[in-house]
Chains A and B, each alone.
Chain A
Amino acid sequence: MNSKHHKLWLWLPIFLLILMATMSFSVTLGAANINWQLVWQIIFSKIPWLSDWVDVTWSDSAETIVWDIRMPRVLLGALVGAALALAGAIYQGVLRNPLADPFILGVSSGASFGASLVMVFGWQLMLLGRFTLPAVAFVSGFVSLLIVYFLSRVNHKVRLETIILAGVVVQSFVGACLSLVLSLSNEQLQTIVFWMMGSLALTDWSYNQIIFPIILMVGVLSLFFVKELNMLGLGEEVAHHSGVSVQRTRFVLLVLASIITGAAVSVSGAIGFVGLVVPHIIRLLFGADYRVILPLSIVGGAIFLVGADAFSRTILAPREIPLGVITAFLGAPFFGYLLRRAKRGYF
């Protein structure tokens, strides 16, 4: 047996415990004073079987605040953080580029562009109703990825350098379209800008219900590819000679990562830095083995974003700071510290 698995089995439960603690602590934060025992009592009262053991001693308003207002938001934060960190880890592995983040292939610009159109024109597609915004954002993000992918396809092969350049090209083109829409819009300008900076406000359980199955499915699927991700680390030719079908593996992984990025962006806007920094922190602390990086990035991203959201709600309360600002404030210095400390040259 090798040490990597021991590492994972030691740290995964610890990470999960930290996540639980961060989440329940985050639910206690806010104008109404609610302690963490009450939070857990309310949670237990919602779980079948366990609910018999809990006596209802709290007011309805406390239950509404915990269960209908704060919980959905905290849970969405965890899901979005997990999705972005997982996507970032996959992008960095597949593109073999330390600067890769979930937005490098234009998924977020595409999604932002779609979302801005919805906001400016006030579309409400008939069947989708209030899910129009996330649905359009998701689809337009995915379309940008496909454009990037087919732009970079030369002679039936996609080369890494070309795909990153194609991502830059599509990103700046779609970015220009977005700026055009912004400059033509008047009263919606602030809404769009705030959406682009990322926020978990205005969520209820319905958003969780859409994004949870997507993240769960993609998360599980991506764990099937950890071995291939490690082998790509030794070089693409080497991976090919060891039996990895490089082009196919890369396409599948990029699509998976883009699906969860699109899902996350569509419900919370483009929250930067999570997808870049969390996988790097995990890598610096626990090594470059994707069998360890992927699971720990998922939980680590959730912890990071729940924590950042707690900050964004409380620091200037009752005013909220955009989440993207907090993630950069928290992430950048810590990342810088780890970089200085790390001896290894490899990302």
Chain B
Amino acid sequence: MLDLQNVSKSIEGKTIVNDITFSVQKGSCVGLIGPNGAGKSTLVKLVSALEKPSGGSIQFIGKDVQDWTVKKLARHIAVLTQGGLDPYPITVFDAVLMGRYPHLGFFERESKSDYGQVDEVLNITGLTDFRDQMLDTLSGGEKQRVAIAKAMVQQPQLLLLDEPTTFLDIGHQKHILKLVKDWQKRDGLTVMMVLHDLNLAAQFCDELVLMDEGQIVNIGTSRDIITSETLEKVYHTNPEIIQHPTLNIPQILL
């Protein structure tokens, strides 16, 4: 579904992403991990066509992402950004409704079915009680749920997440990722997410891409990637690695 071929990006002579090649299969969940400055967020920006690569190509369902119009691409790819939604004083309902925008024609009004979809998604994400509340009165976790709801009504095939859980407490972290996981099961969604938390990455992703200094160090399952040798090479620290008691995947202790 998504094919990256020798993708590079440099800004003012500094190489941030260097010769990246990998592909993402339909319905899978790929986690991008690596230390700060590894180029993970930039890679997400390149895939969402927010920035142009300096070299290589990114094919999405057979067409370079740069060749899509912004609106058409938004029908297929939704993004949860690191910063989330700005605290703009509009209602949760109106904010989520904006996810329908790429499916509307120029100056086309939202129809009954669009409103219905928004209400359905508010129900799934547990936001029905917040429907008429202003966005700027919500907490960080609630706002991130609104962002997920907005992405859901966008009905994408690919969801990109850039550290969706960074500012959230463990309860909200789990909740957000569970929403994504359920959605993936329900609709066969493809997910690519940047995660800092290696334990969450091991739990929620089928495949991990470990990056360092703009390059891929290793691609594989959590068992291939979360090993003390690999992690020490990249993060320059030596964490303890244990088995998760029920999920049978590696987890780290600092």
Contact = CB atoms under 8 A, between A and B. Distances in A.
| A, B: real partners | yes
Given A2-B94, A235-B83, A288-B88, A245 B132 contact: no
Most B CB contacts (10 A, CB to CB) among A224, A230, A231, A243 go to A243
Given A235-B86, A243-B73, A230 B50 contact: no
B204 interface: no
Which of B83, B94, B115 has the most CB atoms of chain A within a 10 A radius of its CB? Answer: B94
Interface string A277-292: 0000000000111000
Given A227-B101, A241-B79, A242-B101, A234 B74 contact: no
A244 interface: yes
A165 B165 CA distance: 35
B98 A240 contact: no
B74 A241 contact: yes
A4 interface: yes
Contacts of A244: 70-71, 101
Contacts of B136: 344-346
B81 A235 contact: yes
Contacts of A240: 48, 50, 70
Contact of A344 (B89, B94, B101, B106): B89
Among A230, A234, A235, A245, residue most surrounded by chain B Cβ atoms (within 10 Å): A234
B94 to A, nearest CB: 6
How many of chain B's residues touch chain A, expressed as a range?
A: 35 or more
B215 to A, nearest CB: 25
A248 to B, nearest CB: 9
Contacts of A243: 70-75, 101-102
Nearest to B89: A288
A1 B116 CA distance: 10
B188 interface: no
Contacts of B101: 227, 231, 242-244
Interface of B: 48, 50, 69-75, 77-79, 81, 83, 85-91, 93-95, 97-99, 101-102, 106-107, 115, 132, 135-136, 147, 150, 154
